[in-house]
Structure 1
């Protein structure tokens, strides 16, 4: 099934069920008002929402509306917990190679992960508002999952059963702020502004055989100003599957329902299918040419991120954002 949140002048939006083609939607206030409420009570809401989804696709819902007629928020406009991994170690290896740094062997067995800002996520069509172009504005195309309650110490195998919803995200990074923050050895903060989400989330069954053992085996397309930057297959070269990422996050404490776990920048070894961020493009240039040529994003740039099925249909809807200068208040 496919779910989304639409603007209703509240912080958490209004939960809606969306049809397979992403054209129609219906409110389900009698089941759950918000996405968080739905995931909090997933054992009770899942079957009810699935029934609505099936009826909507069958044309049996009389009070549906055009999805294009409303403002779509992030599927979960704010969450109690957002943690982003770096599951594609080949990407980390490339970045470190560009600055002549060795990759510790532990990176292949112990996932990197940071906790991001989850007090607000932004919608697929919302502007990326940044104060200064010199901060090195970059997109990062990723896969993300939303869990129900996950017990502390859960195994990677058992963690897979806690994945209830899947989507794609743009984990925006301010590359030129990162080195100073990391030099303090205390993690990201200013260099990670709000993350944006695709219009809808889907249940694992919606992906069929493309969702296998905690990996999504489809290309993820990133297009900047009309030019395709990359379309790496998200299931290839994913060192840590989502079960392993969730188990890592839950090693010492439980995860609450609505926890969002990101994959990190999707990448294929050797970048044979292009890249999912400009940092990787620039690293390839440094290795080949001795210097980075491609600039980071500027005000007015447009980034589109999308994943399609075998027939070319958008699965989660398209992330379509422009970079905009925000005004200090």
Structure 2
């Protein structure tokens, strides 16, 4: 099943069921006006939404219209929880190596996680506002899952059953603000502005065999200013699966339906596949050449993030964002 949220002037938008090929969609106010309501009552409402989805793919549904990604907000325009991991240790290893630091042994058994701002996400086709180019704006292409309710202390098997949807992420980061914030010993805040998510969120079964062991085994493509920047496989070298990441969060707290858990920047050891963020490319340059030469994003730069199935189908729609000066 594929779901999206159209902007409609309200904070939470209008829930749409989207056809498998992303060509058509229909609003379902009689079932659930918003995605959050659908998630709150998933056991009751998901079968009804799926019935609409089946009809949308096989015939005509009253009220259907062409699907327009430019009308989409992030599937959840705001969420009760947005926690992002760093499950690809190749990325962590490169960052540490560029600084001349070792990766602590605990990083291989205990996930890294930060809690991001979730009160207002950017739409997937909205510009990225930038106040100051000196802040070092970067994109980070990731995969995320949306959960149902998760009990305090839930283990990975229970957490796996709580995964409702999968989507893509552009985890926007202000790299040059990070060092001073981390030096305070209290984590990210100003260095993590609003992120954006793919136009469409999908149930894991839509991935077929590419959804295995709580991971998405497909390449994630990033284009920067019209050129391929990276296409690493999201299922390769993911140290911690999504059920493990969710279990890490639920160790000390309950998660409510609509919580979003991110994978962290997709990263493979094979450098031929490129990177999913500018910082990683800069770290490689530091390691190999002694200095970074790739600049961070500036006004006018554009990033596109997509994932396609084995048959070439665009699974989630496209995150397509251009940097603009914030007024």
TM-score higher than 0.5 here? Answer: yes
SS of aligned partner of 1:20: coil
Confirm or deny that 1:203 pairs with 2:193. no
The structure-2 alpha-carbon separation of the partners of 1:209 and 1:69, relative to structure 1 and needing over 3 Å to count, comes to closer
Q: Residues 78-130 of structure 1: CA distance to partner in whole angstroms, max 9, x if unpaired?
A: 00111000000111011110110111000000000000000011111000001
SS of aligned partner of 2:78: coil
> What are the residue-to-residue correspondences of 1:129-144 with 2, within 5 Å?
129-144=129-144
Aligned twin of 2:149: 149
Cα shift at 1:272: 3.6
Distance 2:152 2:69 in 1: 42
Confirm or deny that 1:76 pairs with 2:99. no
Confirm or deny that 1:325 pairs with 2:321. no
Distance 2:271 2:46 in 1: 38
Q: Residues 175-229 of structure 1: CA distance to partner in whole angstroms, max 9, x if unpaired?
A: 0000000000101000001010110000011110100011000000010001111
Aligned twin of 1:40: 40
Q: Residues 301-320 of structure 1: CA distance to partner in whole angstroms, max 9, x if unpaired?
A: 00000000112111000100
Q: Check conservation: 2:25, 2:65, Cα contact below 8 A.
A: yes
Aligned twin of 1:178: 178
Aligned twin of 1:121: 121
Q: Residues 22-79 of structure 1: CA distance to partner in whole angstroms, max 9, x if unpaired?
A: 1111000011010100000000111000000000011221310112286110100000
Aligned-residue Cα RMSD (Å) equals 0.9
Confirm or deny that 1:221 pairs with 2:221. yes
Aligned twin of 2:253: 253
Aligned twin of 1:105: 105
Is there any run of 5+ residues in structure 2 with no aligned partner, and where? Answer: none
Aligned residues between the structures = 327
SS of aligned partner of 2:73: coil
Q: Check conservation: 1:7, 1:70, Cα contact below 8 A.
A: no
The structure-2 alpha-carbon separation of the partners of 1:42 and 1:222, relative to structure 1 and needing over 3 Å to count, comes to same
SS of aligned partner of 1:151: coil
Distance 1:294 1:38 in 2: 43
Q: Residues 130-183 of structure 1: CA distance to partner in whole angstroms, max 9, x if unpaired?
A: 101110010000000000000011111221110000010100100000000000
SS of aligned partner of 1:309: coil
Aligned twin of 1:65: 65
Distance 2:297 2:97 in 1: 23
Aligned twin of 2:92: 92
Aligned twin of 2:289: 289
Q: Check conservation: 1:214, 1:242, Cα contact below 8 A.
A: yes
> What are the residue-to-residue correspondences of 1:186-197 with 2, within 5 Å?
186-197=186-197
Distance 2:263 2:303 in 1: 19
Would you identify which runs of 4 or more consecutive aligned residues in structure 1 move more than 4 Å? none
SS of aligned partner of 2:199: coil
Cα shift at 1:245: 0.1
Distance 1:174 1:294 in 2: 15
Distance 1:260 1:100 in 2: 33
SS of aligned partner of 2:94: helix
Confirm or deny that 1:14 pairs with 2:44. no
Distance 2:235 2:270 in 1: 15
SS of aligned partner of 2:194: coil
Is there any run of 5+ residues in structure 1 with no aligned partner, and where? Answer: none
